[in-house]
Amino acid sequence: MQIEDLLKVVEDALDELKAKDVVRIDVRELTSVTDFMIIASGSSSRQVSALSDTVVEKAKESGCRPLGVEGKDSGEWVLVDLGDIIVHIMQPATRQFYDLERLWQSAESRRAQQQKPIEE
């Protein structure tokens, strides 16, 4: 399965159960761990759990077996590892506290600055 197809499967699964504030971050130039991160919010531990279950189910239906699922017991932050895509599903307070978007966007900004030619 092509990565763009899998991204669509994941984003559609999140949309199906009304995930909030879904963000896709391309991290191919920043890490060798994964190519994309998708971050989404669920309004309760029950919704976070249901969102992760749906992502896993839809990924399996499309032929992609998840490498792992972490955090399902607490329901505050569930990570679904699909290899080329890591999905973070969090409750809003947890998402605000860890602020993964800012962390990865700051890394991208620093990388871009380091690659800029120095003007004399």
Q: Which two tokens stand for residue 113?
A: 């600055």
Q: What is the pLDDT of residues 7-37, one digit of tens each?
A: 999 999 999 999 999 999 999 888 889 999 9
pLDDT value of residue 75: 84
Give the separation between CA 16 and CA 47, rounded to whole angstroms: 12
The pTM of this model reads: 0.85
- Fold for the domain defined by 3-111: Beta Polymerase; domain 2 (3.30.460)
User: Picking from 38-42, 50-54, 107-111, which range would have the lowest pLDDT averaged per residue?
Assistant: 107-111
Residue ranges of domains in the chain: 3-111
Q: What is the pLDDT of residues 78-88, one digit of tens each?
A: 999 999 999 99
| 69 to 66, 74, 120: CA distances (angstroms) | 7, 12, 50
Beta-bridge partner residues of 41: 20, 90
pLDDT value of residue 101: 87
Q: Which two tokens stand for residue 62?
A: 């499309």
